[in-house]
């Protein structure tokens, strides 16, 4: 488990915008570790965990994007039934609220989970 800086980027919701953002990050040598896209009528919120959040933020802001930084937990979990339930149960017992999460199975054995919680330090202790 680690604490990482997530960038929430507010973008116009139209074709090509995400491609432009990803292209600019790639050109700067920034790799995406995780991504989530939520849409609304007129904009999208793209949440990114990258290999270099400072450089990513600079690239995005130079492109005119509004960027908000948030600390999130990055967990590697076993890719098996109940793995997320175990994490959620420990956080519940510690009275830590999960505000949102996203993730993916990275293969047959494990996956990555990004958690935005209301108390990062308390969550770290509960999951240690």
Q: Is the pLDDT of residue 82 over 80?
A: yes
Residue 106 has pLDDT above 80, yes or no: no
Looking at every residue in the chain, the average pLDDT score rounds to 95
Angstrom distance (rounded) from CA 32 to CA 49: 6
pLDDT (0 to 100) of residue 108: 81
Model confidence pLDDT, tens digit, residues 7-26: 999 999 889 999 999 999 99
pTM > 0.95: yes or no? no
Helices 83-93 & 120-127, crossing angle to 10 degrees? Answer: 120
Residues whose CB falls within 8 Å of the CB of residue 95, separated by 6 or more in sequence, listed in order: 122
pLDDT tens digit sequence for 25-61: 999 999 999 999 998 878 899 999 999 999 999 999 9
Beta-sheet strand order (sheet of 110-117): 32-39, 43-50, 2-12, 66-78, 110-117, 98-105
CA distance linking residue 18 with residue 112, whole number of Å: 22
DSSP 8-class letter at 51:
S
Bridge partners, residue 103, by sequence = 113
CATH number of 72-127: 2.40.30.110, 3.40.1390.10, 3.30.300.130, 3.30.2130.10?
3.30.2130.10
Instruction: Write the CATH number of the domain with boundaries 2-70.
Output: 3.30.2130.10
Domain ranges of the chain: 2-70, 72-127
Query: Cα(36)–Cα(8) distance, rounded to whole angstroms?
Result: 9
For position 107, what pLDDT does the model report? 75
Q: How far apart are CA 81 and CA 73, in angstroms?
A: 21
pLDDT at 42: 81
């Amino acid at each position: 488990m680690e604490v990482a800086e997530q960038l929430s980027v507010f973008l116009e919701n139209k074709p090509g915008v995400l491609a432009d953002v990803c292209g600019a990050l790639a050109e700067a040598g920034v790799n995406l570790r995780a991504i989530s896209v939520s849409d609304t009528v007129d904009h999208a919120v793209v949440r990114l965990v990258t290999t270099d959040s400072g450089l990513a933020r600079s690239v995005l802001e130079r492109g005119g994007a509004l960027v908000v930084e948030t600390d999130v937990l990055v967990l590697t979990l076993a890719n098996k039934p109940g793995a997320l339930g175990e994490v959620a149960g420990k956080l519940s017992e510690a009275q830590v609220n999960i505000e949102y999460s996203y993730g993916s199975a990275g293969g047959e054995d494990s996956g990555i989970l990004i958690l935005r919680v209301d108390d990062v330090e308390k969550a770290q202790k509960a999951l240690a």
